[in-house]
Chains A and B, each alone.
Chain A
């Protein structure tokens, strides 16, 4: 995106290490055009399309966070809806206290990050599949506890205050912009996180955990940071979800379907790539919009597709594309190439 052309030569000039496979100018210009279009979208496109785009952004946020967990840190969580729900309820709580709902988005993300820290000390005791189940238990427990709090609407739900004094079109525009900005921050933030030292540690763990440990990588703390970041991201997704659909109910905010969607989308698009979850989300929304008259068939088809991808194309659609054409839009790794030998 930015000045990524940090091609470096080793002392002998035999190999060149670079981030990008092509000039980053193209990516940067493309990204800028996209940002301008998507920012102006609610004033250009019909309201239904803006609403669909908003749901698309929410899914992109969740899938990007899930991909960070599973694709980069090897943690399969099926309980991320815990943080979606907690983010939504944190927003409701602050709104009830009189805070402007749009201001609460970062606060809700922070609340989720803080809650995630002690959670890691529990769930990190289990590995692999048992870790997955433990995250699910956490989500279920969070939902049940929230359901007993009367002031937050208990099990039946409650309408979020603070949005009613805006006109419908203002609400629509503001919530669109909020969702879009959160999505942008999450994707760009993940991109820079993965290009940082942490990204390097994660890549080394993914390739060989034992070797990474012996080289001094602190595996546990790297995973903890990722889990907390993913919780904050999903919390922000929950906050914008609460603003876009302001009737807050435990069964909706803590829905297992969020976990299913983020998992399928990342798998189909390609785990361990930034582009993958975005491409997966596009496919998901195209399928959902096409089959919306046919009940839950889109989920059945999408799930079958995801299982097939996991078995026969585990690097996902974007991963397959990248392997074939050696190209990346948002490079987080390095390419090593041999230059002319002396």
Chain B
């Protein structure tokens, strides 16, 4: 029963990692950009939810209704300006620029909001849980986050498969030049992909703030987990990201069960083992690496 609980908690945690990682996966799949400021954007979203939405007299639980669209807009604008400018140079520059942004954002948050931990206040909901068996408690918040991850991934899949814009996104991802020759404005499509990525990362950031305390430095750690989820699941595979996130979550819970010190270490070791044995990830194609 203890092990069953470990697996259940791992799956719940994995849902959060998948939600965090899907924007990253999309950005890489379409723009071929690794956004090293991804984790910090999530933290910014959580700070906005805590400090700015109360001014609008919206309960913090519903803050995502405002913050998510705003982040979509920010994503589009940031893509059309800074990120597009660095893509025009080379992939090397996008890494340097997003890493620079990450450090700047983290230190700005530290300067403005100090290193104190914050939480997105959701009242009594945080303590409520479903209790199906003796020692198994399933927190409603974690369950909601897992459900959100599955819904977001499903919507993303439907969007990419069945809408005209979604088809354009896939076309640009497959072959930018060919799509451009057929009349697609790839910069606009990149903007849309970035908007979706930023919207999902805002959701992930607020979800993180609901589940646990966050601080300016939380972004880096979560980015690391999100990347691990993407690589374990397979680069460029949306559902692979969910499986990767769950595998990472379960590994971390197993580690934590042995010794709380081993939680992150166990996840890192799983990542390194996958890298050693199957570098393309569980669902990835070998070509994605090249």
Question: Which chain A residues numbered 254 to 298 have a C-beta less than 8 Å away from chain B?
Answer: 256, 260, 263-264, 267, 295-297
**Quick one: CB contact mask for A291-311 with B, threshold 8 Å, 1 for yes?**
000011101100110110011
Q: Are B93 and A314 in contact (CB under 8 A)?
A: yes
Contact of A311 among B28, B86, B108 (CB under 8 A): B86
**Quick one: CB contact mask for B262-283 with A, threshold 8 Å, 1 for yes?**
1011001101100110010000
A307 contacts across to B, CB distance below 8 A: 82, 96-97, 100-101, 104
B33 contacts across to A, CB distance below 8 A: 129
Asked whether any CB of chain B lies closer than 8 Å to the CB of A144, the reply is yes
Q: Are A300 and B34 in contact (CB under 8 A)?
A: no
Known: A132-B36, A145-B265. A126 touches B100 (CB 8 A): no
| Closest B residue, CB atoms, query A142 | B268
Q: Are A133 and B276 in contact (CB under 8 A)?
A: no
A314–B93 CA distance with the chains assembled, in angstroms: 8
Q: Are A306 and B96 in contact (CB under 8 A)?
A: yes
Chain A interface, number of residues (Cβ within 8 angstroms): 42
Known: A122-B275, A145-B265, A267-B96. A297 touches B101 (CB 8 A): no
Question: Which chain B residues numbered 241 to 271 have a C-beta less than 8 Å away from chain A?
Answer: 261-262, 264-265, 268-269, 271
| Closest B residue, CB atoms, query A128 | B91
**Quick one: CB contact mask for B221-237 with A, threshold 8 Å, 1 for yes?**
00010011001000100
**Quick one: CB contact mask for A227-267 with B, threshold 8 Å, 1 for yes?**
00000000000000000000000000000100010011001
A310 contacts across to B, CB distance below 8 A: 86, 89, 93, 96-97, 100
B158 contacts across to A, CB distance below 8 A: none
Contact of B227 among A76, A133, A314 (CB under 8 A): A133
A74–B28 CA distance with the chains assembled, in angstroms: 19
B97 contacts across to A, CB distance below 8 A: 307, 310-311
A314 contacts across to B, CB distance below 8 A: 89, 93
| Closest B residue, CB atoms, query A154 | B261
Question: Which chain A residues numbered 106 to 160 have a C-beta less than 8 Å away from chain B?
Answer: 122-123, 125-130, 132-134, 136-138, 140-141, 144-145, 147-148, 155
Shortest C-beta distance, A84 to chain B (Å), equals 17
Shortest C-beta distance, B142 to chain A (Å), equals 24
| A contact patch SS | helix
Asked whether any CB of chain B lies closer than 8 Å to the CB of A78, the reply is yes
A307–B83 CA distance with the chains assembled, in angstroms: 11
B99 contacts across to A, CB distance below 8 A: 78, 260, 263
Shortest C-beta distance, A255 to chain B (Å), equals 11
Asked whether any CB of chain A lies closer than 8 Å to the CB of B290, the reply is yes
Question: Which chain B residues numbered 122 to 151 have a C-beta less than 8 Å away from chain A?
Answer: none
Shortest C-beta distance, B235 to chain A (Å), equals 7
Contact of A133 among B96, B231, B279 (CB under 8 A): B231
Known: A128-B34, A314-B93. A303 touches B103 (CB 8 A): yes
| Closest B residue, CB atoms, query A305 | B100
User: Which of A130, A264, A295, A296 has the most chain B CB atoms closer than 10 A to its own CB?
Assistant: A130
| Closest A residue, CB atoms, query B269 | A141
Shortest C-beta distance, B73 to chain A (Å), equals 21
A256 contacts across to B, CB distance below 8 A: 220
A299 contacts across to B, CB distance below 8 A: 103-104, 107
| Closest A residue, CB atoms, query B263 | A144
Asked whether any CB of chain A lies closer than 8 Å to the CB of B155, the reply is no
Q: Are A311 and B92 in contact (CB under 8 A)?
A: no
Asked whether any CB of chain A lies closer than 8 Å to the CB of B52, the reply is no
Known: A300-B107, A307-B101, A310-B93. A137 touches B34 (CB 8 A): no
A264 contacts across to B, CB distance below 8 A: 100, 103
A128–B34 CA distance with the chains assembled, in angstroms: 9
Asked whether any CB of chain A lies closer than 8 Å to the CB of B95, the reply is yes
A129 contacts across to B, CB distance below 8 A: 28, 33-34, 36, 91, 94-95
Q: Are B224 and A136 in contact (CB under 8 A)?
A: yes
Q: Are B268 and A311 in contact (CB under 8 A)?
A: no
A134–B273 CA distance with the chains assembled, in angstroms: 12
Known: A129-B95, A130-B235. A141 touches B272 (CB 8 A): yes
Q: Are A128 and B95 in contact (CB under 8 A)?
A: yes
Known: A126-B275, A137-B224. A295 touches B111 (CB 8 A): yes
B108 contacts across to A, CB distance below 8 A: 300
A125 contacts across to B, CB distance below 8 A: 275-276, 279, 289
Asked whether any CB of chain A lies closer than 8 Å to the CB of B167, the reply is no
Q: Are B224 and A74 in contact (CB under 8 A)?
A: no
| Closest B residue, CB atoms, query A261 | B103
Contact of A304 among B92, B104, B231 (CB under 8 A): B104
A273–B279 CA distance with the chains assembled, in angstroms: 33
Contact of A303 among B86, B94, B107, B276 (CB under 8 A): B107
Shortest C-beta distance, B287 to chain A (Å), equals 12
A127–B104 CA distance with the chains assembled, in angstroms: 25
| Closest A residue, CB atoms, query B265 | A144
| Closest A residue, CB atoms, query B235 | A130
Contact of A147 among B95, B103, B261 (CB under 8 A): B261
A-B pairs with the 4 shortest C-beta distances?
Answer: A129-B34, A307-B100, A303-B104, A125-B279
7 contacts between A and B (CB under 8 A): A128-B34, A130-B235, A134-B275, A136-B224, A137-B228, A256-B220, A263-B96
Footprint of B on A, CB under 8 Å?
70, 74, 76, 78, 122-123, 125-130, 132-134, 136-138, 140-141, 144-145, 147-148, 155, 256, 260, 263-264, 267, 295-297, 299-300, 303-304, 306-307, 310-311, 314
Task: Contacts A132-B36, A140-B224 known; list 20 others, CB within 8 Å.
Answer: A70-B92, A76-B92, A122-B272, A129-B34, A129-B95, A137-B268, A144-B265, A145-B265, A263-B99, A267-B100, A297-B111, A299-B104, A303-B100, A303-B103, A310-B86, A310-B96, A311-B85, A311-B86, A311-B89, A311-B97
